Structure 1
Amino acid sequence: MNMAWKEMKKNKLRYTILGSIIFLISLLTFIISGLANGLSQDNASLIKNLPNGTFYMEEEADETYNFSSLSEEQQQEITDGQSEAAFFSIQMGNFIDTSDKQRSVAYVASTDNMDFPEVDAGEVILDASLEEEGIAVGDEITNEQWEQPLTVAGFVSHEKFSHSAAAFINPNDFSAFFHTEAMQMAFIADSDIQGTNEAPAFEELQAFSNSDFLNTIPSYSAEQMSLNMIVIFLLVISGMLFAIFFYMINVQKLGIYGILKAIGVKTGKLFQMMWAQMLIISVISLILSIIISQSFQLLAPSGMPFHLTWPVTGLLSLVFIAIGFIGATLSGIQIKRVEPMQAIQQGEM
């Protein structure tokens, strides 16, 4: 470690440039990861907030919740086997607030269940983002297609679907507004499964885990895949930078390595020096990136979908260090192969 640090101080500019590049790449990776997670929450926090369980929709719906419709017989069959099952429906729509401004929301209706808010007829519970936009408890919201207004009864935090605020209404109101008596989907939490540890199967119904159901939401998988691919490419690029940088340095220092080997320095010691340099550069760069990315999360506007958790930050940091270790190690293979006399002669040329 002491030898590695002395060399870095002697060649400050060289290692500062590498550290700056790693800092920028890691910062960009943290920002994109926070954006991906924030968009995920903004797109599907309604589903992600539910406990682990199994979703059921009609097979003929072709994995599209809008086309699913559970008959009374199907609902009764599910209830007979799993009495704690919840039935719910989602419909994109809008309403007009007291200031005559139109708002887009995702209307959600469900049977009595602890996983969904209980709403009385004639009332609505909205996502808290609408409260920040001026809507208050007691306000009446209307729609040109409704015969009666709904009264805002309260707000819930982080309940969104398809980038729209959730609006929880009574199943009777949902039926009247959207002219349907059937519920679209069923949900059984893992903790509520009775008689077996596995989710039951029902005829003509398709089962989905939480993650599988998220992929049925339009744009969710494409959105997340695009951002996650960018993160992966940035990680790969950082590993390549380490490999190229240390390869170039090792080529320049073959003569020095030859002398060190000639006086008895083990190859493992040379690798340790290179790993120490990689670790110092990575840690300093990551600390700066974490400070800036977490500060950005605190200072970002409330409407920006950015959410970077500490577990994700820690995981990405470990991946960066692991990839840097691999890149540096690959570049150091030439150290193991170098012969003392040959390296000294190359250094003299």
Structure 2
Amino acid sequence: MNIAWKEMKKNKARFLILGSIVFLVSLLTFIISGLANGLSQDNAALIKKLPDGTFYMTKEADKNYNLSRINHSVQEKVLNKQKNAAAISIQMGFLNDSEGKQRSVAFVTSTDSMLFKNVKKGEIILDKSMKEEGIKIGDTFTNNQYNGKFVVKGFVDNQKFSHAPVAFINMEDYKEMYRVNDMQLIFIPGGDGAPSFAGLQAFSNNQFLSTISSYKAEQMSLNMIIWFLVVISGMLFAIFFYMMNVQKIGLYGILKAIGVKTSALFKMMWTQMVFITAISLSLSVALSQIFNIAAPKGLPFHLPLVTTVQLSVIFLLIGFIGATLSGIQIKKVEPLQAIQQGEV
């Protein structure tokens, strides 16, 4: 342990460079992770806020909810068997305000359910983000496919779909706008065994999110970058300690010659790795959480402390593996040969 501290004091510049690299890589990873979570909420908060359950769409839709049309008789059969079930439809569209400005929204309607907002004909409930844009209760909107007007009756927190604010409308208004009589989906809350129904395909919450092409592509790209950065950090540890070990072959030979065990040399290397990583991660976690609090409202950034802790543990494990792999050469060092090599 003392040898590890003495070496770090003697070679401050080397370890400072490694610590700086780990700090920058981990901070970048935390920031991208926050953006991934933020975009996930912005893209599918409507689905992510639901309890665990099962979504159903027609098999003919081929995992595309837009193509799903559940027959009314099938819908009634399922809803009669499952008391907490709800039939829902989601469709992207536009609202025109009194000044003629067009606003993109995701229209959502459902049968009577505690999980979704139910509104009367001609009424609309919007995501709170539209309230921040100046929309007030009592304001009216029109739609090119709807003959009447929508009156704003309230707002809901964090209800987004496909990066657009959700607009809850009455089922009859939805059917008039989109000229349909059938609903797209059925949702049954509860994670205990999904019942099967003829002609319908079941999806868990996460499986349903994966059927949304924009969500899947977006999250896969960002998660790939995150794991790529984690792998890079492991390679940095391995390369750094490998180069350090090569330079210290002679020292290891002397230490082994005077009776220092190989396990003690590994502990010295692990101590240095943990110390550097812990300080670097502490700084990057602190800065990322500050950014999480101070991020502009319009920026889709969400970084829970739990996520940073999980990523920090992964960084420590990767650092440990990288340092250990680079230290395999320590075990092969022969004292006399290493001393002679050091003299050359």
Distance 1:132 1:273 in 2: 56
- Give the structure 2 partner of residue 319 of structure 1: 314
Deviation at 1:294, TM superposition (A): 1.2
- Superposed counterparts of 1:136-215, under 5 Å: 136-190=136-190, 197-215=192-210
Are the counterparts in 2 of residues 52 and 210 from structure 1 also a CA contact under 8 Å? yes
2:220 aligned with 1:228:
no
CA RMSD after TM alignment: 1.1
Distance 1:239 1:229 in 2: 16
Deviation at 1:335, TM superposition (A): 0.7
Once the two structures are superposed, residues 3-40 of structure 1 have per-residue CA deviations (whole angstroms, 9 ceiling, x without a partner) of: 21221111011111111111111011111111111111
- Give the structure 1 partner of residue 4 of structure 2: 4
- Residue type of the alignment partner of 2:180: T
Deviation at 1:98, TM superposition (A): 3.1
Distance 2:129 2:5 in 1: 51
Once the two structures are superposed, residues 323-343 of structure 1 have per-residue CA deviations (whole angstroms, 9 ceiling, x without a partner) of: 000000000011111011111
Decide which of 316, 332, 335 is 1:337's aligned counterpart. 332
Decide which of 321, 345, 348 is 2:343's aligned counterpart. 348
SS in 1 for 2:310: helix
Are the counterparts in 2 of residues 97 and 135 from structure 1 also a CA contact under 8 Å? no
Are the counterparts in 2 of residues 95 and 141 from structure 1 also a CA contact under 8 Å? yes
Once the two structures are superposed, residues 103-142 of structure 1 have per-residue CA deviations (whole angstroms, 9 ceiling, x without a partner) of: 0000000111111112222111111111111111111111
Are the counterparts in 2 of residues 89 and 183 from structure 1 also a CA contact under 8 Å? yes
- Give the structure 2 partner of residue 194 of structure 1: none
- Superposed counterparts of 1:295-314, under 5 Å: 295-314=290-309
Distance 1:37 1:181 in 2: 36
SS in 2 for 1:148: strand
- Superposed counterparts of 1:98-137, under 5 Å: 98-137=98-137
Are the counterparts in 1 of residues 146 and 173 from structure 2 also a CA contact under 8 Å? no
- Give the structure 2 partner of residue 260 of structure 1: 255
Are the counterparts in 2 of residues 26 and 289 from structure 1 also a CA contact under 8 Å? yes
Distance 1:161 1:239 in 2: 36
| Greater Cα offset, 244-253 or 138-147 | 138-147
SS in 2 for 1:264: coil
- Residue type of the alignment partner of 2:183: M
Are the counterparts in 2 of residues 274 and 328 from structure 1 also a CA contact under 8 Å? yes
Distance 1:101 1:284 in 2: 51
SS in 1 for 2:14: helix
Once the two structures are superposed, residues 244-303 of structure 1 have per-residue CA deviations (whole angstroms, 9 ceiling, x without a partner) of: 100100111111111111111111111011001000110111111111111111221111
Once the two structures are superposed, residues 187-212 of structure 1 have per-residue CA deviations (whole angstroms, 9 ceiling, x without a partner) of: 00116xxxxx4211111111111111
- Give the structure 2 partner of residue 17 of structure 1: 17
Deviation at 1:220, TM superposition (A): 1.1
Distance 2:243 2:204 in 1: 49
Are the counterparts in 1 of residues 72 and 182 from structure 2 also a CA contact under 8 Å? yes
2:288 aligned with 1:286:
no
Deviation at 1:97, TM superposition (A): 1.8
Deviation at 1:67, TM superposition (A): 1.0
- Residue type of the alignment partner of 2:39: L
Distance 2:294 2:50 in 1: 29
Distance 2:144 2:55 in 1: 33
Deviation at 1:100, TM superposition (A): 2.6
- Residue type of the alignment partner of 1:185: L
- Superposed counterparts of 1:232-247, under 5 Å: 232-247=227-242
Are the counterparts in 2 of residues 290 and 313 from structure 1 also a CA contact under 8 Å? yes
SS in 2 for 1:120: coil
- Residue type of the alignment partner of 2:317: A
Once the two structures are superposed, residues 208-251 of structure 1 have per-residue CA deviations (whole angstroms, 9 ceiling, x without a partner) of: 11111001112111111111111111111110110010010011
SS in 1 for 2:109: strand
Distance 1:275 1:53 in 2: 45
SS in 2 for 1:306: coil
TM-score of the superposed pair, with normalisation by structure 1: 0.96
Distance 1:97 1:269 in 2: 73
User: How many residues matched?
Assistant: 344
2:88 aligned with 1:71:
no
Once the two structures are superposed, residues 160-194 of structure 1 have per-residue CA deviations (whole angstroms, 9 ceiling, x without a partner) of: 11111100111111112222121111000116xxx
Identify unmatched segments of 5+ residues in structure 2: none
